[in-house]
Amino acid sequence: MNKKNGFVLGGMGLNTIPLSVSASDFSGADTAWVLSSTALVLFMTLPGLALFYGGLVRVRNVLSVLMQCFAIAAMVSLLWLLVGYSFAFGDGMAAQPLIGGFGRAFLWGLGMDDLTGTIPEVVFLAFQMTFAIITPALIIGGFAERMRFSAVLWFSALWLMLVYIPVCHWVWGGGWLADLGVMDFAGGIVVHLTCGVAALVSALVLGPRRGFPKVPMPPHNMTMTVTGAGMLWVGWFGFNGGSALAANGAAGMALFVTHIAASAGALTWMFIEWARFGKPSVLGVVTGMVAGLGTVTPASGFIGPVGALGLGILAGGVCFTATQTIKRVLKIDDSLDVFPVHGVGGILGSLLTAVLASESFGGFGLAEGVTVSGQLGVQAIAVVSVALWCGVITFALLKVLDVLVGIRVSPEVETEGLDIAQHEETGYHW
């Protein structure tokens, strides 16, 4: 374990936290913090992401988005129990390059006294489960308002097993990227890159919503969206701070740099809009905040406040440009901007982690003997390989599901709205 100035340098993988240690290493403080962080990360999805996304769609589709978030949370939780955790982290985090084993299938043999580092293994697996929940839920933004509910369930389950879990193992479970020394403290690659690429591919395969880009499709309830955005901001402290898996300085620094990056991202996006369009928008400031959060995520345990400030400013500018390019230039209907915000932010943060983690840029240092250029090469390999794997598997899944169950609703259903057509309910009674 590499330490600098009292901060643990690592993410949630094998090379950072040992699975089996003596019972005397148990820490009540660490356990309490990770338990709290687990609740915070689930709070990001339910209700945070559900409200954030729900407010962004049109009124006739609000319940469909809320339903998808809730159903995905429940389904992923059961899959994580059955084989998900075991495949991601294996039996004792055994160093298998591609996928874990069946040693923890159905959580067989798990006891309350089994430890992961200084916390009970059951707490570690519950914390990891919340990451597995939010990642496929984030993809909803790429196909919102036009994907059949049955297809959403099939796609989310299969995508979890074929994309998220292998990538999680590669990076955090002792897989081949962990062996290369990839740095991803809290999920820039595992979460944001994968969901961003999957959302982009989904938008391309399903095609745009009817009327896009000529028909205006404004959010139906910005109050709901801002409420959800605030929950995401607060919940992200558990997302990044909890990834230290300890109540220590590393968690505190991760929490602080997360807040700085979010603030810088929000203000940067706001001022760009102000200068370009004459008025700052509420949607812009909350989107910039999310861009700052996603971009700092992979670096949050490795950088200092100045690095976080720089990442947040870059996130606001780069993700704003990416959003305009995707929708206005390329005319791709990534409905809720998942790829330009999460995907581009995850790529940017993952690559710059190699630079900003170095002591010369105010970070807490790279691994012994590793240069900035060498680490940047490792980060680039991880970004490219994960993006390719995710893109190919997502495309194949959607094509197969389209043949088997059909993935897009009919034009008539899309016009009527998914709330009535798919769930026989409406979000509002006027």
DSSP state of 49: I
CA 258 to chain centre: 14
| pLDDT confidence of residue 7 | 35
pTM: 0.94
DSSP character at residue 408: B
Pick from 385, 355, 392: which is nearest to 373 by CA? Answer: 355
- The residue ranges of every structural domain in the chain are 2-6+26-423
Domain 2-6+26-423 in CATH 1.10.3430.10? The answer is yes
- Using the structure block, give the residue that is written with the tokens 């200084």: 118
- Asked, as a colleague might, if the bond just before 136 is cis with ω within 30 of 0, I would say no
Q: What angle is formed at CA 336 by the lines to CA 323 and CA 318, rounded to 5 degrees?
A: 25
Q: Give the C-alpha separation, 276 to 273, whole Å.
A: 5
Please state, in angstroms and rounded to a whole number, the distance separating the CA atoms of residues 316 and 285.
Answer: 9
Query: Using DSSP, how many helices (H) and how many strands (E) does the chain show?
Result: 18, 4
Low pLDDT (below 70) residues in the chain: 1-24, 91-95
Q: What is residue 2's predicted lDDT score, i.e. its pLDDT?
A: 38
Q: Are 215 and 357 in contact (CB under 8 A)?
A: no
> Which tens digit of pLDDT belongs to each residue from 364-376?
999 999 999 999 9
How far is it, in rounded angstroms, from Cα 87 to Cα 173? 9
